[in-house]
Structure 1
């Protein structure tokens, strides 16, 4: 996809070594932007995806689960800003929190150690990236903050409830940041993908305590489905390349997003459902909310003084 004349941006994408992170990176690179992609094994990523570097992408060895991740990012940002020289105040950073994985099972079947380890990447990792980069976006008075969530962050999924809970938490934090960041010219987005043909399904773990017998009728079929999807990508319909292109459109405010941004209150995060499955599940959840909300009118008023 060719650039549409919008100024060159610096994309910082966590978990860019595979899946949707990689497709986002390649779409941005092809549009002429600078991309810094993080991964826990960048030698493997570089060997497996040479097109990333060929297009000008820069790899950064980073594990967002580690407490020193914030310092590592800050050092990189300082170098990037120094390169820009006098133009640094106009640098537009696109911060994409994408790194993460899924954890199958009920929380009562997970040890505290497993829960802590999971949240280090899927929750604390988000925060570390924000802490490292948001001061630069505010100083530059421009930028884009993107949280790659999941439709399961809006629609609770008992079969992988901690994944849903972590995504719901990052969605709420992102919405809060939208209000704080809008006065500084920073746009905020929450991306809620459905199923896409990537290796993500295979990047899963199971509760280290197994599955309680009472929950097996619900959880085990989903575990089997996820494992099957990891071996047969055609079980879902999402096209990863189109995902990357749509996200680029959202950042650039072009294509389908031109009118969407024109009508959007930028003090609020823009929620973007990608995939017809995601859109359908979102609609169903909204309908459930509306029905429950309508029933609570008298109950809510009954507690007023």
Structure 2
């Protein structure tokens, strides 16, 4: 069944790959990028099926206008994929105020503005599916990626609450939690804080554990995305990649064990009535 889909951050990476995937099967897609020229190839290849929109998601007013334009172009918006975002590499102490604010402006506030803008559209039409790009790092954190993780932890919290708030309107919410993929997320789409020598060992320890096989092929996510947007009962959370599930299962087993060890202390902190 043909879908109408709005994707943010489609200039490269997952956003462009998924836009092309949907367009190839005949879905109608509106996609945003900070530079419209980054979307020229999709315009040339798919013509009227594709609507390019220039947008910086950090601009709340522009975001609401962009969603309104997408709705008028597509007629309805069945699916929103909140994909715009970037990575910030650096230890917590290394991150500048500007870098941290920029990370949250895009990854959290930008996603929130698009979400707020789409909700009246989906509520009025009585259906919709909001797909938020989180990360396996929205469930656990790695050294030198703490600020990025913090932004994705925020996305997890607001999206879980959102799911409960809008379910009565026929709106579904899914958090995508990819492990590492061979996109340019760690390249052109990232920022590196100014390194401090005190964290050289921490940084090298993280880097030495990384292997080429840890990174999935972005193209392999296309069938999963098609199944997700076609599902009548999509999950609240969906891992992408074969490393995320065993990794997060290990993390949560350890968390549960620690909570179990301290449960008596926790209960005692309740006090008595």
TM-score for both structures, normalised by structure 2? 0.89
Match for residue 60 of structure 1 among 43, 47, 53? 53
Check if 1:118 corresponds to 2:142: no
Structure 2 spans left out of the alignment, 5+ residues: none
Displacement of 1:34: 1.1
The match for 1:248 is 226
Q: Distance in 1 between matches of 2:220 and 2:199?
A: 37
Q: What is the correspondence of 1:76-225 to structure 2 with a 5 Å cutoff?
A: 76-80=69-73, 84=75, 91-202=76-187, 203-207=189-193, 210-220=194-204, 222=206
Structure 1 spans left out of the alignment, 5+ residues: 1-5, 85-90
CA displacement 1:7-42 (0-9 Å, x = unmatched): x32211111121111121122222322111111112
The match for 1:23 is 17
Displacement of 1:55: 7.9
Displacement of 1:236: 4.1
> Are residues 133 and 124 of structure 1, via their aligned partners in 2, closer, same or farther at CA, if it must alter by over 3 Å?
same
The aligned length equals 270
Q: Distance in 2 between matches of 1:77 and 1:223?
A: 41
Displacement of 1:190: 0.5
DSSP-derived class of the 1:200 partner: coil
**Aligned alpha-carbon RMSD (Å):** 2.4
Q: Distance in 2 between matches of 1:222 and 1:155?
A: 15
Q: Distance in 2 between matches of 1:93 and 1:149?
A: 20
Match for residue 72 of structure 1 among 65, 78, 81? 65
DSSP-derived class of the 1:11 partner: strand
The match for 2:31 is 37
Q: Distance in 1 between matches of 2:240 and 2:64?
A: 33
Q: Distance in 2 between matches of 1:298 and 1:121?
A: 41
Displacement of 1:66: 2.5
